[in-house]
């Protein structure tokens, strides 16, 4: 019953993983989509083909949102996306990456790159779209993609964890700032799901079993589980939902400590 017909969405970082799953779910729900990545690739073409098979318009744009000149990088993605589809009324800030090394080895450059891509690009791309939507009296919808790492820390993930904690706060503060302008902001935070970044799940099965032990439903699913929740949060069905972070994590964030295995 929930659909996105008559809507158009830009999903950043959508050639693989969670972004890909969200773009494909949007297409299945009837939205036209703009796929984004650093460069055209077989992965990007695969997403385009799958979205088009759902009967919607699908286009690709490139752009490196980790560039040292955040303003220029964001502006290029914004203008290119609007040129491809001027009807865009949904923005999904999914582009993000893990660049961590152990804390004592972290450099300013590596930390700043993490924050540029995972936080600053989403902040300022949302600002660009908000200006546009206010000017054109568009009811905009923004979805920030965070992570369970925004709530639960890992020892070799200090910069990434910090960035995802910032994303969770950004959902709240931008919701408060933009709700009076008829723009909704929410977030979605996956737990451990299968993406190219989590290929270690199959390479290190004992570690994967340990994660399953700490997940109430005992599953490590494909990234596709994130799609339906994303569709809901940007749909008309969520018209009174503002500033919320939906965790797609099998209950991991709710469980203080699992029982010892027998």
Known catalytic residues are: 160
Phi then psi dihedrals of residue 92, to 5 deg? -115, 110
Phi then psi dihedrals of residue 142, to 5 deg? -120, 135
Give the Cα separation of 167 and 185 in Å (integer).
12
Phi then psi dihedrals of residue 113, to 5 deg? -65, -40
Q: Name 244's Cβ contacts closer than 8 Å, sequence gap at least 6.
A: 171, 186, 187, 233
Q: Name 57's Cβ contacts closer than 8 Å, sequence gap at least 6.
A: 8, 32, 33, 85
32 membership: H or E segment, kind and range: strand 32-37
């Amino acid at each position: 019953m929930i659909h996105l017909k008559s809507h158009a969405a830009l999903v950043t970082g959508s050639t693989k993983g969670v972004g890909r799953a969200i773009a494909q779910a949007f297409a299945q729900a009837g939205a036209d989509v703009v796929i984004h990545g650093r460069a055209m690739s077989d992965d990007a073409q695969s997403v385009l083909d799958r979205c088009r098979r759902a009967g919607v318009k699908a286009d690709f744009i490139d752009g490196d949102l980790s560039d040292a000149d955040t303003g220029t990088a964001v502006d290029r993605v914004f203008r290119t996306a609007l040129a491809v589809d001027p009807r865009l009324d949904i923005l999904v800030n999914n582009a993000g990456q893990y660049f961590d090394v152990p804390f004592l080895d972290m450099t300013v450059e590596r930390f700043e790159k993490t924050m540029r891509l995972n936080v600053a690009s989403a902040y300022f791309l949302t600002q660009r779209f908000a200006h546009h939507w206010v000017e054109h009296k568009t009811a905009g919808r923004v979805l920030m993609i965070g992570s369970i790492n925004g709530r639960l820390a890992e020892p070799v993930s200090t910069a990434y964890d910090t960035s995802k904690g910032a994303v969770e706060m950004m959902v709240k503060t931008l919701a408060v700032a933009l709700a009076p302008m008829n723009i909704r902001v929410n977030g979605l935070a996956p737990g451990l799901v299968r993406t190219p970044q989590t290929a270690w799940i199959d390479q290190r099965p004992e570690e994967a079993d340990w994660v399953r032990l700490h997940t109430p439903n005992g599953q490590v699913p494909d990234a596709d589980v994130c799609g339906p929740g994303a569709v809901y949060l940007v749909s008309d069905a969520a018209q009174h939902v503002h500033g919320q972070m939906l965790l797609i994590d099998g209950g991991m964030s709710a469980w203080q400590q699992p029982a010892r295995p027998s």
